[in-house]
Structure 1
């Protein structure tokens, strides 16, 4: 007669069976985790929507701010342009007035000279010289300068206009003779000086 079998301890069951059950449990847990990631909880979706709404609101505020700054900058540029135009117009107006004011004494002197019919040649000469000094003063006051290159001075195409080239003892490319003075106004050429340019020593 065989001895009765003792009941097995649940903890001493087949290890293979326990491993299989554990794998199934792990697979179920992984499936649950994947499902949670694929379909987030409503609270997570609500938080994401709120974040997007906040970001959109902040972006709209920045766009409005940049638009306002752009309009201000455009208005400032327009003000600067208008002020510049007004300054140019005033400069032209007052510049002309200043030059005209300087020429008035010159005109007075010429009219006074013509009014005197009985004058000696010496008196006429003195009157003309005085009038010329007044005119020179008017020119200096308005930064109107002569351009009168001396013979031998280097030819400058920005200030001089060559009429012809002539053989000369002077170096080639220098002014040989001044035919007519030129004038500049505040460094801007009003009229170039008319000159003849040396072509160098004449051929023997």
Structure 2
């Protein structure tokens, strides 16, 4: 099909094809890189990927280091809240030692209030008292000192010689108990 200047229909078709052909020619020219140009492009791509890898690796290392530091701080300052709850108890004991009066009733009241402060501080620190009188002996929470004759069922805690304590479901100190003997 020749381009006939006399035929206006052929000119319109050629004008419509020109932009498409030019675009295809540009694509072909872009794909026709020399081997050296392809190597340079690939080397640049490798360098970019290596840079991205190193940055990602550094970020991961920084995140790991920050996590280790946070755990260390958590361990170091974990007792801080509990210590804050104990400070009023220390203040009360200091005031009791500074008191020069001989009134034993006041001293006993002060010791009782200080004990209540201490128990409150322990509760706030999630320390729970183990006082198992009348319960079945549990070797995970109790330490039997002796067995005594009793009217209670065998292996029942008869007396508590020293209260035990738990913190967050873990035994901090077992209760020292006497247990009833089998009949």
Q: Tell whether the structures are fold-level matches, with TM greater than 0.5.
A: yes
- The residue number in structure 2 matching 1:8 is none
Task: Give a deviation string over 1:41-73, Cα, whole Å, max 9, x none.
Answer: xxxxxxxxxxxxxxxxxxxxxxxxxxxx9xx79
Distance 1:190 1:139 in 2: 12
2:97 is aligned to: 114
- Aligned match of 1:154: 136
Q: Give structure 2 stretches of 5+ with no counterpart.
A: 1-52
Could you tell me which residue of structure 2 aligns to residue 178 of structure 1? Answer: 160
| Structure exhibiting the larger radius of gyration computed from Cα positions | 1
CA drift of 1:96 comes to 1.2
For the pair 1:137 / 2:120, whether they are aligned, the reply is yes
Deviations 1:102-122 (A, max 9, x none): 111111111111111114111
Change in 2 beyond 3 A, CA 1:162/1:83: farther
How many residue pairs end up in the alignment? 130
Alignment of 1:72-151 (within 5 A): 82=65, 85-150=68-133
Map of 1:189 onto structure 2: 171
Give 3-state SS (helix, strand or coil) of 2:160's partner.
strand
Distance 1:171-1:139 versus aligned 2 partners, 3 A rule:
same
Across the aligned residues of Structure 1 and Structure 2, the Cα RMSD in angstroms comes to 2.5
TM-score, normalising length from structure 1? 0.56
Cα distance change, pair 193–79 in 1 and its aligned pair in 2 (3 A): farther
Q: TM-score if structure 2 supplies the norm length? A: 0.61
Go from structure 1 to structure 2 and tell me whether the alpha carbon gap of 1:87 and 1:172 turns closer, same or farther (over 3 Å shift).
farther
Aligned to 1:25: none
Instruction: Please report how far the alpha carbon of residue 91 of structure 1 lies from its aligned counterpart in structure 2 after TM superposition.
Output: 2.7
Q: CA deviation at 1:191?
A: 0.7
Alignment partners' CA distance in 1, 2:100 and 2:117: 22
Structure 1: 5+ residue runs without aligned partners? 1-68
